[in-house]
Copies of this chain bind each other. A is one copy, B any other.
Amino acid sequence: MNPDHHQYVHGHSDRESERLRYQASKLAELLHQDTRYPPGSRVLEAACGVGAQTVILARNSPGAEFVSVDISPEALVTAKDRVFREGILNVAFRHADMYDLPFGPETFDHVFVCFLLEHLPDPLLALNNLKGILRIKGTLTVIEGDHGSALFYPDSPDAHRVIDGLVQLQRQAGGNALIGRELWHLMTDAGFADVTVSPRQVYADCSRPDSIEGVKHIFIAMVKGVREEAISRGLVDKETWDKGIGALYRTTEQGGTFCYTFFKAVGYRER
């Protein structure tokens, strides 16, 4: 989740940690249901962040052995604590940099990556490095969002400006918030074989209160989290920001709708 805690655009507050946990639990079925690793397999989770996905991954594949790494020592402490409290025993944690992985060639049977590439200046290099530590015929699974997929009613130019502010902020930090649509070419360019991408779309209207809560507590909360930085960097002015956030909340009220698409890709190491 977190390639470099100085660069992580959403910050490391308790609120952000809680948002990530809520996001993982709400989206667990949609994003994780088809990821199951066989007993005895060694799986690298890169990067685990505060462990929001780790708990779900490890529970879904209780016989697999996970090594979860992150570049942020603080995030690892939180992740370890969470996994310990949940009584999960099949996860080991380790400090690691995606650009300098502390593992030998073909160490892992599978690699899992979620919400990582969007924060990396060179996602292709990271994928190449991950390929190196994966055994031949091992799988790489990648899940990323794409903020350009946000579609809502009522539509609002201010809401788009606010989302675009987050996209620009992430770009200035070296990341790419529109990376979901790129997973196919990134994995193929990195030399993975039989790459299969499946979009996973979230849809919310008033008849689905759980999904509406998800929009508020995952997407809008994420956007709100960068308010000070987006305004102080002049990406969006204060008035537009507040109008845009108001317009996003309006989509969660009577008659409103909100869509967002995550992309999940799976590929094999061929040789």
Contact = CB atoms under 8 A, between A and B. Distances in A.
B201 A181 contact: no
Counting contact residues on chain A (CB < 8 A from B), the size range is: 20 to 34
A182 interface: yes
B181 A206 contact: no
B201 A205 contact: no
Given A151-B148, A155-B148, A195 B181 contact: no
Given A194-B207, A198-B203, 20 more contacts: A146-B151, A148-B155, A149-B151, A151-B261, A152-B181, A153-B182, A155-B178, A181-B257, A182-B257, A184-B206, A184-B255, A188-B255, A189-B255, A195-B207, A196-B207, A197-B203, A197-B205, A197-B207, A197-B257, A199-B203
Number of copies: 2
Contact of A201 (B182, B189, B201, B255): B201
Which one of A155, A181, A195, A206 has the highest number of Cβ atoms from chain B below 10 Å of its Cβ? Answer: A181
